Amino acid sequence: MVSMQGEPRDVTQLDRLWQRGRDFLGTRTAIMAGAMTWVSERHLVSAMSNAGGFGVIACGAMTPNLLEAEIAATKLLTDKPFGVNLITMHPQLDDLIRICIAAEVGHVVLAGGVPSGASVKSVKDGGAKLICFTPALILAKRLVKLGTDALVIEGSEAGGHIGPVSLTVLAQEILPYMRDVPIFVAGGLGRGEAILSYLEMGASGVQLGTRFAAAKESIAHANFKRAFVRANARDAMPSIQLDERFPVIPVRGLVNKGTKNFLDIQVATIRRVDAGEITREQGQLAIEHFWAGALRRAVIDGDVEQGSVMAGQSVGMVTTEQTVAEIIDELLAQATAALALRSRYEG
């Protein structure tokens, strides 16, 4: 453990609180980096693992060949553990799992839906540890029965695709009743004191995305990072659905011109459907296609006005561009300082 503020016994206490998570990940800290498409690639992932955290490659829509190359490139930059996040709806999921197993990736995250029994078996038979997301206790129990080795519960405060329930509520609903596997909490986390509070509730570790998206090692465009530094929590809002006939998957990001244009396209599309100019199916496709490529435009091209600037509500805690190691050390210092303060009161 690096030198930090607080008494040595506070550091020891923090180690004890997340020991299960550290053992599961094989890392110095039980801090995972969320898998963010276009952001969580070899540079950020290796920096995260080298700094004592746990980096996770975001496979997204990668082909098996691209994923194989990304894993190999990451291994050239770190000899520490890291994982790969795979989307369960990917049409080549079986091949992607085989790539991970062949490359001896130690941890595979299956996200975006409930994994099939066949996918779980492929991961487990290949010798990798399986991590899944759960939005409810009943599903957590089901996933454990399927063979999941660890779970992530992510609150609506997170960036990107979100569920309807906050981490505060999810943690109370799940942590006291699920002890079978390590549980990592995510959504809106930006300071060490908050991390400490969830560890004390029974979490084995945490997952953060927004704090690391704007790190120096992130390949995100300078405009993207500056948008994070300028933003506050109220700027990170979920996408709005105007008509229940045209479902919109909620995605949290910074409000910009693209966000407002999305509302306009919904209004115009609804009017055209109601007027009989296009079918309901065509209208749904028009709404869904609006954001096609928008995340890449923001992250890679730097178009933070029309692109999709996905960010969690913790974005207000991104006040400057830091290295991954500086972010982790800051989080640890905050957590141990909180433990030291408590020790003084109790003493």
Give the start-to-end residue ranges of the domains of the chain. 8-220+318-346, 232-310
- Position 8 pLDDT exceeds 60: no
The Cα 75–Cα 46 span in angstroms is: 8
Which tens digits make up the pLDDT trace of 275-305?
Answer: 999 999 999 999 999 999 999 999 999 999 9
Taking the CB of residue 82, how many other CB atoms lie within 10 A of it? 29
> 3-class SS at 183?
strand
Q: What is the mean pLDDT of the chain?
A: 95
- Position 3 pLDDT exceeds 50: no
Distances (CA, A) of 243 to 33, 104, 165, 229, 278: 35, 46, 21, 33, 16
Q: Which two tokens stand for residue 128?
A: 């990798």
Which tens digits make up the pLDDT trace of 223-237?
Answer: 999 999 999 999 999
Which tens digits make up the pLDDT trace of 147-172?
Answer: 999 999 999 999 999 999 999 999 99
Specify whether the CB–CB gap between 180 and 318 falls below 8 A. Answer: no
Which 8-state DSSP code applies to residue 200? H
Residues in the chain: 347
Paired with 87 in beta bridges are: 111
Q: Which two tokens stand for residue 121?
A: 């078996």
- Chain centre to alpha carbon of residue 322: 19
- Position 9 pLDDT exceeds 90: no
The Cα 214–Cα 102 span in angstroms is: 32
The Cα 95–Cα 11 span in angstroms is: 42
Task: Give the DSSP H/E element, type plus range, for residue 335.
Answer: helix 324-346
Specify whether the CB–CB gap between 48 and 24 falls below 8 A. Answer: no
The C-alpha angle with vertex 129 and arms to 25 and 175, in degrees rounded to 5, equals 65
Q: In angstroms, how far is the first alpha carbon of the chain from the final one? A: 25
Please give the pLDDT value at position 10.
Answer: 60
Q: Which CATH number fits domain 8-220+318-346: 3.90.580.10, 3.30.70.890, 3.20.20.70, 3.30.830.10?
A: 3.20.20.70
The Cα 296–Cα 298 span in angstroms is: 5
Q: Which residue has the tokens 């995972």?
A: 32
Q: For the full predicted model, state whether its pTM sits above 0.85.
A: yes
Please give the pLDDT value at position 347.
Answer: 60
The Cα 235–Cα 241 span in angstroms is: 18
Helix/strand number for the chain, H first, E second: 15, 11
The Cα 335–Cα 168 span in angstroms is: 18
Which tens digits make up the pLDDT trace of 196-219?
Answer: 999 999 999 999 999 999 999 999
